[in-house]
Amino acid sequence: MKTTLTTKIIAGIYKGKSIELPSLETTRSSKNILKESFFNVLQYDAIDTIFIEAFGGSGSIGLEALSRGARHSYFCEIDKKSYKILEKNCKNIDSEKSTAILGDTFEVLPKLINNSLKNVPIVVYIDPPFDFREGMENIYDRTFNMVESFENANIFLIAFEHKSDLILQEQIGDFIKYKDKKFGNSSLSYYKRIDEK
C-alpha cells in the first residue's frame, strides 16, 4: 500500500490543512523550520501581495502565503505528476486565489512577471530542483539569468532556497542580498531592490 506524504499549513486562516507532497524522486519539500523562518522574516509584508513560487512542487510555500494574507499565489511546475498534485492542493486550500501553471519556469515566469502583474507588490520564492532532476547542473546560473530578466518594479523581495555550501552573489540584476539564514544543508538568501531603503 502506497503511503501519501503530506505536510500542513503552519499558520493563518488555513492553519492545519493538509498539503499532499509529490514523490521525492521529482521534487523535495521545504522543511517546516525553514518555511516558518521565511514567514517570520516576511511577516505582515505577505498581506495583499502577489506571491510567486517559481518551482511549484507541492505549492507549500505559496499556499502558506495565501493562508497568511497574500492576495494571490502563482506556481510554475514542469513535472506533470507534481503538477497534478499541485493543482489538487490549490483546489483544496483556495482555488480562487491560486493559479498553477504547467510549464517551464524559465519561459513562463518572466512573461508572467513582466507582462501580466501590474501595480501590485510581488514576492518571488525560488527553490531550484538542484539535486533531483537530470540536466540541472547549471540550474543556478539559469535562475540568476531569469532574475536579471525581471523588469517589474513591483517586486520587493526575492528569496532563494539553496544548498548551504553555495554562497550566492551579492547582486543579481536589480536586486541586492541583505540576509542569509542557514538550516543544515539548506539555506535562505534574501534579496531586495537596490533602490529600496
Q: Is residue 120 part of a domain?
A: yes
Contacts of 57 (CB under 8 A, 6+ apart): 21, 22, 27, 28, 29, 77, 82, 86, 127, 129
Q: What is the pLDDT of residue 133?
A: 46
* CA dihedral of 75, 126, 148, 76, whole degrees rounded to 10: -20
Domain limits for position 55: 6-193
Looking at the chain, list the stretches that DSSP marks H as alpha helix, in order from N- to C-terminal side.
32-42, 60-67, 80-94, 105-111, 139-148
Q: How far apart are CA 179 and CA 101, in angstroms?
A: 30
User: Where residue 10 sits, what CATH number does that domain have?
Assistant: 3.40.50.150
Q: Is residue 1 part of a domain?
A: no
Q: Is residue 72 part of a domain?
A: yes
Q: What are the cell numbers at 112?
A: 508572467
- Are 95 and 121 spatial neighbours (Cβ–Cβ below 8 Å)? no
Q: What is the pLDDT of residue 130?
A: 63
Q: What is the pLDDT of residue 26?
A: 44
Q: Is residue 143 part of a domain?
A: yes
Q: State pTM to two decimals.
A: 0.91
Q: Is residue 187 part of a domain?
A: yes
Strand-pair partners of 157: 123
Number of domains in the chain: 1
Q: Is the pLDDT of residue 28 over 60?
A: no
pLDDT digits (tens, 9 = 90+) for 166-183: 889 999 999 999 999 999
